[in-house]
Structure 1
């Protein structure tokens, strides 16, 4: 086992007990993508001591892949600061829900650090104000920077600065980090001000450039992933109607030597990332469909292929129904991007 994969394996099979240099908490954890990136970067020097995720299906996937005996807490708003162990690093892929700003005052004088108490990001602030970790790491959609004409983002940055942190942020694209997906996200890193973070910088890229053919299943996939002729025709007609109106909406078939568009929240948009896979030999349907299986070999990508688009290892277990898995990976993070940033964070902490 090479050094890079050592922590991945210890996360997935954690019978090996380690004394870690840094303790982390995983808020709005999803299926653990942020944690996995930090595990890769910090190796044996990080230990997760608290996990919170409210979605029961995501909890199942998380627990199956990080079998470390930790109880996954649900609604973070019902967890007191005292119930959370001391920690050094806060990982928070907080949901992109509407932020309540206090009108012309731009939110800084609202209920709690510029946010209504019902805003989930406020929970990150609450917990970090109580525990004062060394680092706070957040990930969100690129559009967060433009929400409410930029005032929402200003509230977020201001709240971290008010807590005593030096804040860095940057939009990075997953395609620059070894996965074939055009996915821009905003990443926020905040160091406690008693830590010299002056040399911190975000990574520019990480890993080799890849295309779809590098992540496609090596063996032919089930016929269930191939579109019915009726549905494919519906997509064609729908796209034609929008094109006639000058709109660009509609399905898209990706070339094998190209990259995917962003797989999106909720797992929707699979039709924007269709591929042609001519290895199918038996067109007999295995699900109820209208018409027959299309003869143009057009299919959706599988959940495992979506996992690879997000940089999850093939050892990551996918036991739930496809519907849940598509949603989970659409909502997740690109692990290699997280790993690359985490390596930069580790450099600062190890030299502090």
Structure 2
């Protein structure tokens, strides 16, 4: 007997499916994904390796090429729309290159308006959007005002926002803004979501001697016989010398730039998509050795992905993907908070349809 989902949703700017994981099926809050959009071929490779039940499922690449009328009907729209145009790092980089950012970015900044046209056409009962904390302050708040005006005044949704730190769930300081909207007025209160006290430290995500081997990792990251992370993750002497000199230079200039060395009992900085370059924001202390990068599996754990999550791509691509993803249990907490209101909205919708029939 086929299980009937509690609701349907679409997954836009899906990345590797972190948001979907929180909303779908038994591991999430019971929804069924009916459409995915993701343009990056490597992210799509990881996504497809982990979400294989694509029956009745539409998979699209570039959202700008999707006709909103062809999007399947859905109850909830989900989207972690690109954050580089609004992030502190992204804005700094674009300024240095003399390029536009925010809504002036000709490729990424306008993608919010693809969300707008889909919501306008399909009128889902609810949506949840995710972005960097800096979205609220970008361009002196004007960017965020445009977004809120579109969602509330033009589309008519009841909208609330909250900055949630993944630190409540994993040993990583990662603040992200969640934007939740409902088509019909209700008493949903985003601030009523209670987050657990941060307790986890770096040891909770690191490979440990004696840990159970993960079949789909096939020894790519950890030598179970020796009980050690593979040597390739330890920084080379040249790179470690460079990072120390770079940090010293900025420290003497009064800047805070430098590497983030993490020891037992500590938490980490935010994992970014540039982690593959030198790993400098999160370096793991090793006794009597140079520090090392996190392995891709440790990055997965740091983002709240279970060890069942398959990593089919190269280390470089994996680092980019986890750095661009979401802290899954943080999204799951918000999904749990939204679920009763989604259910009430759908009951009211069905009752209205019955009366009209």
Q: CA RMSD in A?
A: 2.2
SS of equivalent to 1:329: helix
**Corresponding residue for residue 161 of structure 2:** 169
Q: 1:187 to 1:89 in 2, by over 3 A?
A: same
| Counterpart pick for 2:61 among 74, 83, 86 | 74
Describe the shift of the 1:319–1:339 C-alpha distance in structure 2 as closer, same or farther (beyond 3 A). Answer: same
Kept in 2, the 8 Å contact 1:31–1:59? The answer is: yes
Partner residue, 2:141: 150
Q: Give 1:204 shift.
A: 3.1
Match for residue 275 of structure 1? 284
Counterparts of 2:183 and 2:105, CA distance in 1: 24
Under a length normalisation based on structure 1, what TM-score does the superposition of the two structures give?
0.81
> 1:232-247 to 2 correspondence within 5 Å?
232-247=240-255
**1:174/1:147 Cα in 2 relative to 1: closer, same or farther (>3 Å)?**
same
Structure 1 Cα separation of the partners of residues 191 and 7 of structure 2: 20
Selected match of 2:336 from 336, 339, 343: 343
Q: Quick one: distance in 2 between partners of 1:188 and 1:79? A: 23
Match of 1:26 in 2: 11
- TM-score (structure 2 length as normaliser): 0.80
- The CA deviation at 1:41 is 7.8
Is residue 303–residue 326 contact of structure 2 (8 Å, CA) maintained in 1?
A: yes
- The aligned runs of 1:1-352 (5 Å cut-off) are 17-39=2-24, 43=28, 45-69=30-54, 70-98=57-85, 119-161=110-152, 162-176=154-168, 178-193=169-184, 195-206=185-196, 209-219=199-209, 220-267=228-275, 270-278=279-287, 295-352=288-345
The CA deviation at 1:297 is 4.0
TM-fit CA distance, 1:71: 4.6
Q: SS at 1:50's partner residue?
A: strand
Aligned residues of 2:34 and 2:58 also touching (Cα < 8 A): no
Measured in 2, the distance between the counterparts of 1:340 and 1:309 equals 16
Alpha-carbon offset, residue 265 of structure 1 = 3.2
Partner of 2:216: none
Cα distance in 2 between the residues matched to 1:116 and 1:96: 11
Range with bigger deviation, 146-155 or 16-25: 16-25
> Structure 1 unaligned runs (5+)?
1-15, 100-113, 279-294
Aligned residues: 305
CA distance in 2, matches of 1:350, 1:133: 13
Structure 1 residue 298 displacement after superposition: 1.2
